[in-house]
Chain A
Amino acid sequence: MITRREFLQASLAASAIYGGSGFGNWSRLAAQQALGQDQLLQFDDFGNLTLIHITDIHAQLKPIWFREPEWNIGVGDAKGVPWHVVGNAFLDMFKIAPGSPEAYALTYEDFAALGKTYGRMGGMDRVATVVKAIRAARPDSILLDGGDTWQGSMSSLLTRGQDCVNVMNALGVEAMTSHWEWTLGTERVKEIVETQLAFPFLGANIFDAEWDEPAFEPYKIFEKAGLRIAVIGQAFPYMPIANPKWMFPEYSFGIREERMQEVVDEVRATGVDLVVCLSHNGFDVDKKMASRVTGIDVILTGHTHDAIPEPVLVGQTILIASGSHGKFISRVDLDVRDGKMMGFRHKLIPIFSDVITPDPEMAALIDAERAPFKAQLEEQIGTTESLLYRRGNFQGTWDDLICNAVRSERDVQIALSPGVRWGASLLPGDAITREDIHNVTSMTYGQVYRTEMTGETLKTVLEDVADNIFNPDPYYQQGGDMVRVGGMGFACDVTKDIGSRITEMTLLDTGEAIDPSKSYTVGGWASVNEGTEGPQIWDLVEAHIRKLGTVRLEPNPSVKVTGI
């Protein structure tokens, strides 16, 4: 067995070439006006096997803006660790120059200005170029998709995921796992998996709900470079809790740590050379799992959308975080010998859409997928003067706009909007198209309900969601980010326990404190309850923006966060 010390030496030697960050010197290159595709792809081949990881694309086939979070608070052991550090602190941690391309790609600082300098990111045609280049250099490679692929755009909603399935088939993905895929419903998921998908849909933790038995392929063994490599899938564990379980009542999920150990042991017993876990657990859950399940060499993480320039080492397992929305691809070169991972070299490759040449075949396929809906997608609904973004633990400007739309269109005092991590940004001055609205709202349960809730119920909802983010034990964090609230302010102390995090709930219309026994009118969307009635959120937001014409949002001081 390789010792921890030897392992660290091997890995440090590998990453030293990139100055520790695995990120190269593109700040300097950009200053010299030389940031180009060759620099982005530059990689000194290492070892004998390459993993290519992409995750959480959320159906974004075209390049987009995506502002990284300003709030991404870690609690307990996760306080101050790289994937919970944002902005300038992140730049300091990885020695990234402010204003550089990497600062733009990885943080929120000066986003609007840097966006205009460095351009949109992602686009599956650019991703295809990068994948092809890596494969040309490294025939012994495996391309893996961490899931959240078939949901998040208007065209994916209209085709029930078909556009993304066609694109990922053409890209040559070799295995995937899942989360939002399930919101298409069991029947559609099975139809795709059984008749459309050219690669396995892995999930060791997907069980039959009635018999509590494994229901999907848990892993796939690849044979490359004379090696046998096990890729184990781990679907999003909290599927029936975080998303509507009535859409896939046949299945049960869960972290199922003991099951993961069992599957690792099973593949190890067949003598595989390498064990990779393709996970949609989220980074903190994966980190905990890596510390408790033995025998996994690499975890390709997903769900929490973190883009981390370096692998995170837990025991002898490396964790790779590859961002979201097609902004990044991870290339991980491994030296695998005698059934052991002896070392690695890693690069988080940013997909600058103006720098990387689109792959013509993929570009043509994407255009063909969009063609039937092109006019609908690209119709301009309004214009924004403000930066519109969502990602972050608390309110984003997109959410403020959506909450305003719910309050005015449904005539309610308080609006609730889900704290999902997906949703592309828009820069000041951008047109708002119908597609842009869908990019932050598209889902199969977008009905906007109107109801009444007591102050006590509102407090329970906020406490419950807050505990799903700020519970110090990651295994108890099922949530996305904090629920977005319109018309009501509150304070949140992230260090407290459930029941005492949320205080100072205030009705903003009157400035009065929320009365636990009083009822308030509440509108919201993305309810997990079956039979929710109301207009679709994208139609409602479109109606609101049409009335405004030009959107301008003032800074929103209604949420006070303490305990950071």
Chain B
Amino acid sequence: MKLNRREALSVGLGGIFLATMPGLSAAATLEELTAAFTGGATPGTDGITLTTPEIAENGNTVPVEIDAPGAVAIMLVASGNPEPAVATFTFGPAAGRQFAATRIRLAKTQDVYALAKMADGSILQAQATVKVTIGGCGG
């Protein structure tokens, strides 16, 4: 079988999706994703840092960093995207630091959420509003 680059990428992404989001439909909402990740636990807010720009310089590639010392997994959700699930990062016991940095695409102005699952099963959550604007008019 011969795969072109585009098909290979879509297969690859599907693979990651299935690995990280078992049992969820492709358009899982923020609430569904959160419920599945937290198992219903109420998240705390101390001990997790989500860093995003306030206004995206380019909505197609927005730098996002999450730092959650002691986490075993970090889930990143873009609540206003057609597909809110962005990624889940898992950290093994050998991980020197529970930190993730990536660039994500944001369809419009929205809240980005990071949830961290700690070794004891507790959950931490951080959120940030990222504005995606037409731009111009810079006084």
Q: Does A480 lie within 8 Å of B57, measured CB to CB?
A: no
Q: Does A418 lie within 8 Å of B136, measured CB to CB?
A: yes
Query: Which listed segment binds B: A186-194, A239-247, A310-318, A403-411?
Result: A239-247
Residues of chain A within 8 A of B54, CB atoms compared: 237, 254-255, 475-476
Residues of chain A within 8 A of B131, CB atoms compared: 467, 471, 476
* Minimum distance in angstroms from B59 CB to a CB of chain A: 10
* Minimum distance in angstroms from A428 CB to a CB of chain B: 26
Query: Which listed segment binds B: A106-114, A342-350, A457-465, A539-547?
Result: A457-465
> Which residue among B53, B101, B133, B137 has the maximum number of chain A CB atoms within 10 Å of its CB?
B137
Q: Does A420 lie within 8 Å of B137, measured CB to CB?
A: yes
Which residues of A in the span 461-494 have a Cβ within 8 Å of any Cβ on B? Answer: 461, 464-465, 467-468, 471, 475-476, 478-481, 483
> Which residue among B51, B53, B101 has the maximum number of chain A CB atoms within 10 Å of its CB?
B53
Residues of chain B within 8 A of A241, CB atoms compared: 55-57, 133, 135, 138
How distant is the Cα of A554 from the Cα of B135 in the complex, in angstroms? Answer: 31
* Minimum distance in angstroms from B12 CB to a CB of chain A: 23
Residues of chain B within 8 A of A304, CB atoms compared: 139
Which of A254, A258, A418, A461 has a CB less than 8 Å from the CB of B134?
A461
A419 at the interface (CB under 8 A from B): yes
How distant is the Cα of A498 from the Cα of B133 in the complex, in angstroms? Answer: 11
A212 at the interface (CB under 8 A from B): yes
Instruction: Report the nearest A residue to B136, measured CB to CB.
Output: A528
> Which residue among B58, B101, B109, B131 has the maximum number of chain A CB atoms within 10 Å of its CB?
B131
Q: Does B135 lie within 8 Å of A242, measured CB to CB?
A: yes
How distant is the Cα of A255 from the Cα of B101 in the complex, in angstroms? Answer: 18
Q: Does A483 lie within 8 Å of B137, measured CB to CB?
A: yes
B129 at the interface (CB under 8 A from A): yes
Which of A238, A243, A418, A498 has a CB less than 8 Å from the CB of B55?
A238
Residues of chain A within 8 A of B134, CB atoms compared: 460-461, 464-465
- What string of 1s and 0s marks CB contacts (under 8 Å) between A204-244 and chain B? 00000100100000000000000000000000111111110
Instruction: Report the nearest A residue to B135, measured CB to CB.
Output: A241
Interface residues on chain B, number (Cβ under 8 Å): 19
- What string of 1s and 0s marks CB contacts (under 8 Å) between B14-53 and chain A? 0000000000000000000000000000000000000101
Q: Does B133 lie within 8 Å of A478, measured CB to CB?
A: yes
Interface residues on chain A, number (Cβ under 8 Å): 42
* Minimum distance in angstroms from A475 CB to a CB of chain B: 4
Which residues of B in the span 103-139 have a Cβ within 8 Å of any Cβ on A? Answer: 109, 129, 131, 133-139
* Minimum distance in angstroms from A111 CB to a CB of chain B: 20
Residues of chain B within 8 A of A236, CB atoms compared: 138
B80 at the interface (CB under 8 A from A): no
Q: Does B133 lie within 8 Å of A468, measured CB to CB?
A: yes
Residues of chain A within 8 A of B133, CB atoms compared: 241, 464, 467-468, 478
Which residues of A in the span 441-464 have a Cβ within 8 Å of any Cβ on B? Answer: 460-461, 464
Residues of chain A within 8 A of B136, CB atoms compared: 242, 418, 465, 526-528
A421 at the interface (CB under 8 A from B): yes
Q: Does B137 lie within 8 Å of A468, measured CB to CB?
A: yes
Residues of chain A within 8 A of B109, CB atoms compared: 498
Q: Does A480 lie within 8 Å of B139, measured CB to CB?
A: yes
Q: Does A478 lie within 8 Å of B55, measured CB to CB?
A: yes
- Indicate whether A419 sits within 8 Å of B137 (C-beta atoms), given known contacts A476-B129, A476-B131: yes
Q: Does B63 lie within 8 Å of A243, measured CB to CB?
A: no
How distant is the Cα of A318 from the Cα of B36 in the complex, in angstroms? Answer: 48
A15 at the interface (CB under 8 A from B): no
Q: Does B138 lie within 8 Å of A420, measured CB to CB?
A: yes
Instruction: For the A-B complex with A254-B53, A498-B109, A526-B137 known, give 18 more contacts whose Cβ atoms are closer than 8 Å.
Output: A212-B63, A241-B135, A242-B136, A242-B138, A242-B139, A243-B138, A252-B63, A255-B54, A418-B139, A461-B134, A465-B134, A468-B133, A478-B133, A478-B135, A479-B138, A480-B139, A527-B136, A528-B136
The 6 closest A-B pairs by CB, nearest first: A480-B139, A242-B138, A421-B139, A240-B57, A475-B54, A241-B135
Offer 30 A-B interface pairs, CB within 8 angstroms, sorted by A: A179-B138, A212-B63, A212-B101, A236-B138, A237-B54, A238-B138, A240-B57, A242-B136, A242-B137, A242-B138, A243-B138, A252-B63, A254-B53, A255-B53, A255-B54, A304-B139, A418-B137, A420-B137, A420-B139, A467-B131, A468-B133, A475-B54, A476-B55, A478-B135, A478-B138, A480-B138, A481-B137, A498-B109, A526-B136, A526-B137
Identify the B interface with A (CB < 8 A): 51, 53-58, 63, 101, 109, 129, 131, 133-139
Identify the A interface with B (CB < 8 A): 179, 209, 212, 236-243, 245, 252-255, 258, 303-304, 418-422, 460-461, 464-465, 467-468, 471, 475-476, 478-481, 483, 498, 526-528
